[in-house]
Amino acid sequence: MVDGESLENEPAIQDRVLVEAEIQGRPVSFRAVTVRVCETELWLGLASPDRRLETIHPNQAVRLTIARSGAALLGRSEFLRSLGGSKSRVFAVDRPALLERVQRRGYVRYPIDLPIRVRHVDPATWEPLGKTATTMTKNLSPGGLLFVSDATVSVGDDLDLILPLSGGDRVSMSGVVKRLGRGLDAGEPEANGQPDHSEVAVKFTRITTLDQDRIVRLILLTEHRRREAAMREPRLPAFEPPAATPTH
């Protein structure tokens, strides 16, 4: 007998899947749906044809993020072949031997500096209000983020947020301001006369499951790169205090 948790950790028909690969050295992503689950393969389909799919070579490495309620399944795979008459819509990938389950409940925000575009919106119509500002995040999770701003922002404000990714891709979401804090010690203005900055904590109120999965993937990739960079840094020799000079 197979328990429910085991089934939740296995791919299934109609799963929403984010497929990430590299084409000519640039990262690309495809939003697909599982149309068939085989013993060694997954058949995936796009909502509409994408010609970029035709440039992926057999056995090329891809990353899969499978949406789950309150979690995501992450795994490494390989592109196998196109299926059917269209080479840009339905395709097969290797079924991952291991899918890592990542919980999205009780999100832990990860310290990360990324550019982000922010603007106010009308919560009733979602029409933009005012100009778009570009600033930097201080931390990020699939459920919210913290950014620094010198604009007028109040608790309860509704915001439209765009997080640019590599390759011209982006993640779009909406959120509500839950908390404000001072970005500078004691709230003093900067020495150059510019206004002090506020730290703005935002909880996402509108974001797709796949975009949450992409944020998870971005956090994991950033942490992996940080660890690799730390391992490459030369280690300084241990400090040894000078020998004591004997006194007579």
Of 31, 44, 28, the closest CA to residue 90 belongs to 44
Worst-scoring range by mean pLDDT, 5-9, 69-73, 135-139, 165-169?
5-9
Domains along the sequence of the chain with CATH: 12-103 (2.30.110.10), 110-230 (2.40.10.220)
Q: What is the mean pLDDT of residues 16-25?
A: 86
Question: What pLDDT is stored for residue 245 in this prediction?
Answer: 57
Does the model's pTM come out above 0.85? Answer: no
Residue in the block written with tokens 């197979």: 2
Tokens, residue 78: 């390989």
Q: Hey, what are 158's tokens? A: 């509704």
Judge whether residue 4 has pLDDT over 60.
no
Alpha-carbon distance of 86 to 84, in angstroms, equals: 6
Identify which of 126, 159, 139, 152 has the alpha carbon closest to the alpha carbon of residue 218: 139
The pLDDT of residue 194 is: 46
Closest CA to 166 of 106, 217, 201: 217
Per-residue pLDDT tens digits for 48-103: 899 999 999 999 999 898 887 767 788 899 999 999 888 899 999 999 988 888 76
As a whole number of angstroms, the distance between CA 201 and CA 228 comes to 30
Provide mean pLDDT across the span 11-40: 89
Q: Which residue has the higher pLDDT, 30 or 8?
A: 30
Q: How far apart are the first and last CA of the chain?
A: 84
Cα separation, 52 vs 49, whole angstroms:
9
Q: How many CB atoms lie within 10 A of CB 86?
A: 14
Do strands 16-23 and 26-37 pair parallel, antiparallel, or not at all (unpaired)? antiparallel
Integer Cα distance of 112 and 155 in angstroms: 23
Q: Which two tokens stand for residue 102?
A: 């990542």
| 1: confidence class by pLDDT, cuts 50, 70, 90 | very low
CA-closest candidate to residue 78, choices 66, 96, 90, 65:
96
pLDDT band at 36 (very low <50, low <70, confident <90, very high): very high
Which pLDDT tens digit goes with each residue over 116-135?
999 998 877 777 788 888 99
